[in-house]
Amino acid sequence: MEQVDVVVIGSGQGGVPLAVNLSREGKRTVLFEKRSLGGSCLNYGCYPSKAFLAAAHDAGVRRRAAGFGVDIKAEIDFARLMGRVRSKIDSSYIKKSLDKAGVQTIMAEAAFTGVRTVAGGGQEFQAETVIINTGNAPLVPPVPGLDKTPYMTYINFWEINEMPARILVIGGGYIGVELGQGLAELGAEVHIIETAERIVAREEPDLSQVLASALADDGVVFHLGRQAKQVRHDGNVFTLTLDNNETLEGEALLVVAGQKPNTVSLNCAAGGVELTDRGFVKVNDRLENTSPGVYAIGDVTGQPAFTHVSWEDYRRLMSILKGGSRRQMDRVLGYAFYTEPEAGRCGLTIDQAREQGLDARAVTLPLERVARAWLSDRTNGFFRLAVENGTDKILGATLVGPRASDLVHVFIDLMEAGATWRDLEKSVHIHPAFAEGLPTLARLLL
């Protein structure tokens, strides 16, 4: 067994910069990675999915252009499209960065063998500090027959070269709606099966309604409030039986029913690392586990599974390890769905604010009242702002429409700066930009 300063388990968007920076500071650092450097974002999350959606949405825009009197026929070369998507997956720069910083990188699955003692790839290390950044894995529901079929998850979806004529999607969360809409825009027949009564059910109901309407316009068929009861595969076609005995058929089956933490193989009990009831690594507000010297960052702690969350945890943990005052939640959380239209969210919804006992109110601006949206015939959506009465503090925002993933940063920045809705109301935004609607939204509070 070797003695080192730091062991990092997992090379996601937080683990890599932690390993690099700690090594540069003179700490002997070992990084374990069991699959591919770069974690989910680079290999089967953000990078491939957004490259895929760029092509799919472009095909959708060309088709929708007919409404403007512009007829464009899109020829889909799916193999070339997926080849381009895979070309965006390149972790070589990560390996170079780790090597340059002097990090010892071990491509093997790691597990605890004792307190702050980790082994993998035939090597064992004891460290002063252990950082867990193992992320999540696809949650596969226990549907009879599913394990005997060649179903896909978001991990291996990127390997296909032939677009299925019909695809069944189990799961109507943000991964399911993004990939489902993209496939429909490219010409596939798409069925989404969701156990909840609406898609992206954790979001506000009218956000779900707008996205459902948009996906339906693209040809997506929904089976809401339904569960898969049985799956069969005859070598060519999947047959999916729902709990109402309806049967669906497709040449492909994509399972995106949720995620689970990558902690089972870590043997956390051997390291005295406490987990939550759901299997996530338990941490306090300083990202430290109950086992002293063991920290965890990103979605393995049960936080929302977004790359920027793990990245921001890295910045906070660097401060914490140096005795700084940063905390896990000293930030405004924002995120987006890259559907068409997009959805951007930050902070609290009005219902969440009231559940916390805040005296809050919200205003909503339909996109048909935003000039750029009206001129573009892209009025399926809205802007919403939640504020606290008395203090005028901005509590959160929900944006559904074109460029919502960018526009939401206006609210994130205002909230980080401690600005109020009155500061936004006084702003003059460019006409006729989509962002022109944001001060208009704030003025509804006057």
For 335-383, the pLDDT digits (tens) are: 999 999 999 999 999 999 999 999 999 999 999 999 999 999 999 999 9
* Span between the terminal Cα atoms of the chain, in Å: 67
Residue 6's pLDDT is what? 97
Provide the pLDDT for residue 74: 76
pLDDT at 158: 96
Average pLDDT of the chain is: 94
Concatenate the DSSP letters of all residues of 29-77 into one string.
EEEE-SS-TTHHHHHHSHHHHHHHHHHHHHHHHHHHGGGGT---PPPP-
**pLDDT tens sequence across 242-280:** 999 999 999 999 999 999 999 999 999 999 999 999 999
36 phi and psi, to 5 degrees?
-140, 135
What's the average model confidence in pLDDT over 117-132? 96
Helix (H, G, I), strand (E, B) or coil at 1: coil
Bridge partners for 7 per DSSP? 30, 130
| 2-38+91-137+260-321 matches 146-257 in fold | yes
**Taking 70 as the threshold, does the pLDDT of residue 127 lie above it?**
yes
Q: Are 39 and 135 in contact (CB under 8 A)?
A: yes
Domain edges within the chain: 2-38+91-137+260-321, 146-257, 341-443
Residue 126 has pLDDT above 80, yes or no: yes
Answer yes or no: is pLDDT of 151 > 70. Answer: yes
| Per-residue confidence (pLDDT) for residue 1, from 0 to 100 | 86
CA angle 312-314-319, nearest 5°? 100
Instruction: Please give the pLDDT value at position 65.
Output: 66
- The CATH H-level superfamily of 2-38+91-137+260-321 is FAD/NAD(P)-binding domain (3.50.50.60)
Residue 291 reports pLDDT greater than 70 = yes
CB-based contacts of 74-77 (< 8 A; 24+ apart in sequence) = 76/163, 76/186, 76/187
Average pLDDT over residues 12-22: 94
146-257: what fold?
A: FAD/NAD(P)-binding domain (3.50.50)
**In the chain, % of residues over pLDDT 70:** 100
CA gap 193, 146 in Å, rounded: 15
Q: Residues with Cβ < 8 Å from 350, sequence gap 6 or more?
A: 360, 361, 362, 384, 386, 395, 396
Cis peptide before 150 (omega within 30 of 0): no
Q: How confident is the model at residue 304 (pLDDT cuts 50, 70, 90)?
A: confident
pLDDT tens per residue across span 19-69? 999 999 999 999 999 989 988 888 988 999 999 999 999 988 877 767 777
pLDDT tens profile 66-108: 777 777 777 899 999 999 999 999 888 999 999 999 999 999 9
pLDDT of residue 327: 92
CATH superfamily entry for domain 341-443: FAD/NAD-linked reductase, C-terminal dimerisation domain (3.30.390.30)
What are phi and psi for residue 363, nearest 5 degrees? -130, 150
